[in-house]
Amino acid sequence: MELQCKVQNYDWGKLGLESTVAQLLSSAHPDIQIDPTKPYAELWMGTHPNGPSLIIERGVLLSDYIKDNLDAIGPAVKRKFGVAVPFLLKILSIRKALSVQAHPKKEHAEELHRQFPDMYKDPNHKPELAIALTPFEALCGFRPLAQIQGYLQKLPELAEMLNRQCVDSLLGHREQGDSGLVLKPVFHSLMTCDKAVVARTLVVLLDRLDKEDESTQVSLLYPLVKRLHADFPGDVGCLSPYFMNYMQLQPGQAIFLKPNLPHAYLSGDCVECMACSDNVVRAGLTPKHIDVPTLVDMLDYSSYALDQLLFNPQLEDANSCVWRPPVPDFAVVKIRVEGDSYNTANRSSPSLIIITAGTGSVCDTEPIQVRPGTVVFLKASRQLTITPAEGQHIELYQAICNV
C-alpha cells in the first residue's frame, strides 16, 4: 500500500531542491511545488502522532488501519510491542547542526516522562541508526582521552575557561582505568560555564586560529568550529568537537546511536531509523529547551575510536544487506535490484519501504509504479516483488522490526 508521508520543515534543513527530502517529495508528487527558500529537513514514515503516514488508496491513517487489520503487524511483533509499528523511518537533509544531544535508556525515559511530561512527551527509548546517502558529518561519542588532552594543551583559551582542578586531573590521567572519572567533571565544567565566558572564549580562540597556517587550523578544527560559531554564535556546543569524535561518513556508511551516547548531526543527507519516540536530552547548538544536568549525568563517558563507531551491515544475498542494531525495535535492509525481478525476504514484521533511486514497479497483490520518493507499507509475512524498468535499477531501504 502506497503511503503519503509527512515532511518536517525544521530550520536546520537544507533549502529547496538542495534537500534530498525535497528531491524525493518532488519526484514522488510532481504536483507539489518546492519552495527554494524553505527548509525541507525530514520526511517521516510511520505512525508517530507528530507525523503520521496516510494510506493513499484508502484515505486512512496507517495507525488506524493496523488497529483493524492485526495481520498487518503479525503475531511476533504484536507479542513484543502490541498493535503498533514500533519504529519510525526518516530521510534527513541537514544544512546546519542539530543539537548536542543523547537519548535516554528505556527506564530513564519512563522516569523522565513521569517527572517532566511536558518536556519528555513519551516513555519510550530512542536508539537510532543513521545511514549516509551523501557525504555526512556528525559528532559522535567522546574522543580517545589522549586527543582531548592534546586539545586542552594546545588551546589554552579552552583550558582556562574550565575548572582548573578538573583539567589538571584529566591531563594527568593515563588511558588505564575509567576515563569517565576525569572526563565527566571537565565536560560538566564546560557545559555549565558562564555564557558570557563561553562567548568571549570563542571569539578570542577563533581570532587566534584565524592567524595560524592552514595545517595548524585543520589540526585544531578551526574550519569546523568557525562554521558552528557562524550558525550558533557564542554557543557552548561550538566547543564540543574538542571532546567528541568528528566523523565524516561516505554514502553507505552508518552509525548506531545507542542510549546515552552523545552526538550531533552537522551536515548531509541520511536514512534514519529509530524506535518510535521523540525523547531527546539537549545541551547545545539548539534554540530548543536544553537540560544540561540530565544530559551530563546520563552520558556514556567511554572513549571511542572512529572505527568503533562505524556500524556495518551484514550481507544477506547479492541484492541486499541489513543493519541489525542490538535492539528489538528495528533493523534496516538496503536492496538494490538491476535487471531481473527480485523477491524480498519473507519477514515476520511489517515493513516501511522508501525508493531512493530508479523506477519500475513493486508488487505484493497489485503492482505499484514506483520512482524515487515512493513509500510503501508491506504487511508482515509478505513478499514484495521488485521489478526495475528496462535499463533501470531500483534502490530502496526497508525498515523492519528486529524480532
Which single residue is written with the C-alpha cell 572526563? 183
What is the spatial distance between Cα 282 and Cα 263, in angstroms, rounded to a whole number? 10
Strand partners, 202: none
In the chain, % helix, strand, coil (3-state, to 5) comes to 30, 30, 40
What is the spatial distance between Cα 236 and Cα 292, in angstroms, rounded to a whole number? 11
Residues 6+ apart with CB under 8 A from 165: none
282 is a catalytic site residue: yes
Q: Is 190 left (phi over 0), alpha (psi -120 to 50) or beta?
A: alpha
**Cell numbers for 343:** 523477491
What is the spatial distance between Cα 143 and Cα 20, in angstroms, rounded to a whole number? 30
Secondary structure letter of residue 380 according to DSSP: T
What is the spatial distance between Cα 219 and Cα 211, in angstroms, rounded to a whole number? 14
Catalytic hit among 95, 143, 282, 347: 282
Strand partners, 397: 334, 354
Which single residue is written with the C-alpha cell 548531509? 268
Active site residues: 282
